[in-house]
Structure 1
Amino acid sequence: MDGSPVLAAGATGALEKSGEGGEGTERSAGAYRPGYELVAEQILQLIAELRLRPGDRLLTEVELASRLGTSRTVVREAVKILSAIGRIRAQKGRGLYVADDEGMLGSSRWGRFFLPTDLEHVYDLFEFRRVQEVAASRLAASRATPAELRAIETAAETCREGHLTGRRDLFDRGDDDFHISIATASHNPFLVDAVREVRRLQRQSSTIGLHGTVGGHAEEAVAEHAAIHRAIRDGEPEAAALAATVHLDKTLEDYRREIQHRVFG
């Protein structure tokens, strides 16, 4: 389970704008998106169109507002979001820059051009996650130390507690720790970096896309985490790989179901 599903603007068909200069929100079949989220998405698209690389200077807030047909206030809020998730840097007195990203995928096409509200990108990211995390789970079942097994179990319990208490922050923290702990137990540093980076990109989807609750898959996710942990603890690589596959496939299905609900009601 990984945060709330997202909704690509292109997936909704014709959208209606309220307000002037793009400062309102967009509605389609019941979907709601604040104007600053839309502008954040547009800024990412602009970075891709201009082929800007980490360290390159971006347009000023005034120039962005003019180019995107919105106000500087909305651009400023969008910049705050993009700064918080590490996509741009705001340097006082110097302007806006595409953020330097030292992550494993930072210099790749995904690191530069991943669009958090593009459904195709999100689905491709899930496909990539499936390859990584199934491999990590299989290796962890053969290589995990007692300390690493305890870390996986603790993370799973944190996630479970977050679900039972309705604390999304606790659930998300446990979820992150669970998947990264498994990658760590694989003893493959490339898998650790890849899992961490892909989860960072996926968090961007939840931040810029539609916000929601933990999701209908949360209770199942807790049970699926337990199954993955048991297989790794018992030293059963193929069982661990299968449990990880089931978990990721069901998580993706939850995203698809929630997106369909938000688009079509």
Structure 2
Amino acid sequence: MAPTTPDPQDGPYRPGYELVAEQLLAYVAEHDLRPGDRLPTEKGLAELLGATRNVTREAVKVLAAIGRLSVRKGAGIFVAAAGDPTDQQLVHYQPTDMEHVLMLLDYRRLIEAETARRAATLATPIEVRAVRDHAARTVEASRAGDVTGFGAADAAFHDAVGLAAHNVFLQSGVTNARRFAGQSDVLLFHGDVPGSLETAGAQHVAIAEAIAAGDPDRASALMIEHVDTTRHQFERRIRDRVFNIPGRPQAPDQRFSPLREAGA
């Protein structure tokens, strides 16, 4: 299971800790480990994966930071404990596996379309104002090239739509999707932002206006379009990453992460 560093001529460089992080998650899945199960020591993991201890340590740190592993001083490395029973079924989610990420986006398409539909029917005037305000903030952030500000406004927008749907299970579903999407964002894109800020902001505003107008069919359709745009941007970004297509604009102030957006 030794991680390999690709030849730059064969494709884009991937840091060793990223490859080892992938292997660690695969190890958890292959051994059907569950939250609370102990992993081998750092030294043991390094030997199992054919990696150096320094690289293994960095991989463990990254996975701990995104909530997949728990490092307890003096006790060891564990599969992170889940916050609720449904997480037990998702502990083997592979954030760098294309099939898994597309399943996540498919889930988001279903759940957020219904969330937008219900918000258009049930939102109070105060909730409508919040949805509109957060949508407008994403547009402002996109024009300023403020990726961090956009991410915060984006999360607030989707949270506001979830709140306006008046269903705690839908709210929870949107929140969980964001959490898993964030894991993929960290491991695949390292903070890169491979999608249009302006496009996402404009879509948020259109969804907000459909909710404000009390048009559930339009709100749902626009949310589906929004998620489908995210999916297309993700797939294109992965193709660029795999095949190292030159000439693509990469300016961070013009792009957003579809995976962060997927959960936002």
1:106 match: secondary structure: helix
Are residues 1:160 and 2:102 paired?
A: no
Shift of 1:199: 1.1
Look up the match of 2:203: 224
Q: Cα distance 1:173–1:33, how it changes in 2: closer, same or farther (>3 A)?
A: same
Look up the match of 2:257: none
State the alpha-carbon separation in 1 of the partners of residues 94 and 52 from structure 2: 22
State the alpha-carbon separation in 2 of the partners of residues 104 and 243 from structure 1: 32
Letter in 2 for 1:45: A
Could you tell me which of 181, 188, 191 is aligned with 1:209? 188
Shift of 1:130: 0.3
| Contact 1:54–1:99 (Cα < 8 Å) also in 2 | yes
State the alpha-carbon separation in 1 of the partners of residues 126 and 85 from structure 2: 26
State the alpha-carbon separation in 2 of the partners of residues 175 and 29 from structure 1: 36
Shift of 1:258: 1.4
The more displaced of 125-134 and 96-105 is 96-105
Percent identity for Structure 1 against Structure 2 = 43
Look up the match of 1:115: 94
State the alpha-carbon separation in 2 of the partners of residues 26 and 93 from structure 1: 38
Return structure 1 stretches of 4+ with deviation > 6 angstroms: none
State the alpha-carbon separation in 1 of the partners of residues 158 and 117 from structure 2: 13
State the alpha-carbon separation in 2 of the partners of residues 160 and 38 from structure 1: 36
Could you tell me which of 236, 241, 264 is aligned with 1:262? 241
What does 1:87-166 align with in structure 2 at a 5 Å threshold?
87-103=68-84, 105-108=86-89, 111-166=90-145
State the alpha-carbon separation in 2 of the partners of residues 214 and 181 from structure 1: 23
| Contact 2:132–2:209 (Cα < 8 Å) also in 1 | no
Shift of 1:125: 0.7
Q: Cα distance 1:226–1:205, how it changes in 2: closer, same or farther (>3 A)?
A: same
The more displaced of 28-37 and 62-71 is 28-37
Aligned length: 243
Q: Larger RCO: Structure 1 or Structure 2 (Cα < 8 Å, ≥ 6 residues apart)?
A: 1
Are residues 1:40 and 2:47 paired?
A: no
Could you tell me which of 189, 194, 210 is aligned with 2:173? 194
Q: Normalising by the residue count of structure 1, what TM-score does the alignment of the two structures yield? A: 0.86
Q: Normalising by the residue count of structure 2, what TM-score does the alignment of the two structures yield? A: 0.87
2:67 match: secondary structure: coil
Look up the match of 1:66: 47
State the alpha-carbon separation in 2 of the partners of residues 160 and 86 from structure 1: 30
Per-residue deviation, residues 224-243 of structure 1 (Å, max 9, x unmatched): 11110000011110010011
2:91 match: secondary structure: helix
| Contact 1:104–1:197 (Cα < 8 Å) also in 2 | no
Could you tell me which of 158, 169, 174 is aligned with 2:153? 174
Shift of 1:91: 0.3
Per-residue deviation, residues 176-228 of structure 1 (Å, max 9, x unmatched): 22112211111111111111001110111110113354333321111111110
Q: CA RMSD in A?
A: 1.7
Look up the match of 1:237: 216
Per-residue deviation, residues 43-68 of structure 1 (Å, max 9, x unmatched): 11100011111111111100000000
Structure 2, unpaired ranges of 5+: 246-264
Q: Cα distance 1:26–1:34, how it changes in 2: closer, same or farther (>3 A)?
A: farther
Look up the match of 1:252: 231
Shift of 1:23: 7.9
Structure 1, unpaired ranges of 5+: 1-20
| Contact 2:95–2:184 (Cα < 8 Å) also in 1 | yes
State the alpha-carbon separation in 1 of the partners of residues 183 and 174 from structure 2: 15
Per-residue deviation, residues 68-101 of structure 1 (Å, max 9, x unmatched): 0011111111111111111111000000111111
What does 1:19-30 align with in structure 2 at a 5 Å threshold?
22=3, 27=8, 29-30=10-11
